[in-house]
Structure 1
Amino acid sequence: MVNEDFVAAGGHFAVVLDGATPEPDVDNGCGHSVRWLVKTLGSHLVAGLIEHEDAPLPDVLHTAISTVIAAHADECDLDNPRSPSATVAVLRERGDYVDHLVLGDSAVVIQFSDGTVHVVMDNRIHGFPDRSWADLRHLRNVDGGFWVAGNSPAAAGNALTGTCLAKDVIQACLMTDGAYRLVERYDWSWQELLDCLGSDGAEALIAKTRTAESGTRAGTFSGKHHDDASVALCVLTGTSTPN
């Protein structure tokens, strides 16, 4: 199975993208795979974060989406509401500040020095639990619907964003929805998830997720029984990891 996630990190940023599963048995109007979109968008997003270290994150994402659109608009029908798309999570250390951006149902989880944990997830798609594929395609990237990165640069301006003081942050992680299933489906707390990441690492967390999924009868939960799972754990410069 092809992994349709993308993870990258630099000295002051981390990026996680999750390609959306294509709608089954329909023409999406694009000659490129979801994996192509995720890799191309992720690469342009990383380039923007390196080149424009202080630019607002929605602006960097807007430029990346626009660049990808320009790369295949002449050969693909990007007005097709089924065209490839992805969720995006970004964390950036910018001097005394930490910025985050979330678009779609990936997550940024921030642990503060006072012991609190702040979770940022864009759950707008979950507001339509009973809608069919045919309904959802027309709710994508429109006001009152949900927003993802793909065929509309305007999605960047609808991402969830925030900034906090770097001195207050111990660590943060970026996760695709397949990687936070232990919280979403199996009653873990976010603190338990962070503790597992800190002590055992991302591979162990994902292994525990696969074990839980394998012990669950298919159809118990809505959505895919197994999903791509990717994590980026960030420990900020000048901070110490928790005991």
Structure 2
Amino acid sequence: MFTEVTYATRAGSERPNEDLVIAGSSWIVVLDGATAAAGVDSGCVHDVPWLVARLGGALAARLSADRDTSLAGVLEAAIGETAAAHGDRCDLGNPDSPSATVAMVRAGRGRVEYLVLGDSPVMLAPAGGGVEVVADDRLERLPGGRPYPVELVRRMRNAPGGFWVAAARPEAAAQGVCGAVDVREVRAVGACTDGVARLVDWYGWSWDDLAAALDGDGPGAVIGAVRELEAARGPVRGKRHDDATVAWARLEAPSR
């Protein structure tokens, strides 16, 4: 079980925040909704915040009530429930249907489980210090290198050899990066969206730096550091300010 969970989220613009963070006494979930490219028809009457809210609610209900199903199984069921909630007005076969990345961590029964689907990493802080990062880098390995054409991303989303996110296909859950570690080996866990991972990817921080800042200053200060660096140095690519979300949970010290 967690002894403390802290988190923060901040929109990157005047648009609604498409990130979501939810947590319980033994689990955390961070979602990052994929902003639709300009002029792209998603085939859906719902927007990205709707998808993120529905998916997050379905995950929270299952994680709160079911400790036996694997995280991949939990995500598969939540995607299926969310897809059913779309109704008949949405073309769920459209590859541009609203989607989100998923980062989940659950502690219990002597282990810490994790699942990462898309570019929202999980952090595991070992009892001996430092941090281990669980990442899904398939979006960074599409052919041709960045910037990716819109049609390439469309073709490679939720497709073999491409990258996977939570949208309308429950089978995407099986493509997550999953694993578990002994709970005695972990003192804290975290998850963030790529709006926070910019600190490492763009601005010279190490993952150890990020974990230390979360431990010492907290999630709100970490997002503040992102905004300061974005203002001072600008983006490497894409949006000047992205939605930014991070959660950090401490675990009980193992009994001796």
Whether the 8 Å contact between 2:131 and 2:211 is mirrored in structure 1 is no
Where do 1:201-212 residues align within 5 Å?
201-212=218-229
1:102-128 deviation line (CA, Å, top 9, x unaligned): 000001011101224210111101112
Whether the 8 Å contact between 2:187 and 2:253 is mirrored in structure 1 is no
Matched, 1:191 2:205: no
CA distance in 1, matches of 2:132, 2:208: 10
1:84-104 deviation line (CA, Å, top 9, x unaligned): 000000000022100000000
1:95 counterpart letter in structure 2: R
- Greater CA drift, 153-162 or 107-116: 107-116
CA distance in 1, matches of 2:119, 2:92: 22
1:224 counterpart letter in structure 2: K
Aligned-pair Cα RMSD in Å: 1.3
Q: What's the CA shift for 1:24?
A: 1.0
2:239 counterpart letter in structure 1: K
Where do 1:7-22 residues align within 5 Å?
7-22=21-36
Q: 1:174 aligns with which of 191, 194, 202?
A: 191
| Correspondence for 2:168 | 151
Name the structure, 1 or 2, with higher relative contact order (CA <8 Å, separation 6+): 2
Q: 2:78 aligns with which of 33, 44, 64?
A: 64
| Correspondence for 2:5 | none
| Correspondence for 1:53 | 67
Q: 1:4 aligns with which of 7, 14, 18?
A: 18
Whether the 8 Å contact between 1:174 and 1:232 is mirrored in structure 2 is yes
Whether the 8 Å contact between 1:172 and 1:234 is mirrored in structure 2 is yes
Paired residue secondary structure (2:37): coil
CA distance in 2, matches of 1:227, 1:184: 14
The aligned length equals: 238
CA distance in 1, matches of 2:197, 2:35: 17
Q: What's the CA shift for 1:238?
A: 3.0
Residue identity over aligned pairs, in percent, reads 45
Matched, 1:225 2:245: no
Whether the 8 Å contact between 2:20 and 2:53 is mirrored in structure 1 is yes
CA distance in 2, matches of 1:185, 1:26: 28
- Greater CA drift, 90-99 or 107-116: 107-116
| Correspondence for 2:37 | 23
Q: What's the CA shift for 1:82?
A: 0.9
TM-score norm. by structure 1 comes to 0.95
CA distance in 1, matches of 2:53, 2:85: 13
Q: What's the CA shift for 1:237?
A: 2.3
1:20-40 deviation line (CA, Å, top 9, x unaligned): 011211211111110000010
| Correspondence for 1:141 | 158
CA distance in 1, matches of 2:214, 2:185: 20
Consecutive unaligned residues of structure 2, counting only runs of 5 or more, are: 1-13
TM-score norm. by structure 2 comes to 0.90
1:148-186 deviation line (CA, Å, top 9, x unaligned): 000111110000001001111011111001012111111
Paired residue secondary structure (1:70): helix
1:209-228 deviation line (CA, Å, top 9, x unaligned): 100000124xx512222100
Whether the 8 Å contact between 2:187 and 2:252 is mirrored in structure 1 is no
| Correspondence for 2:120 | 106
Whether the 8 Å contact between 1:117 and 1:190 is mirrored in structure 2 is yes
Q: What's the CA shift for 1:239?
A: 5.6
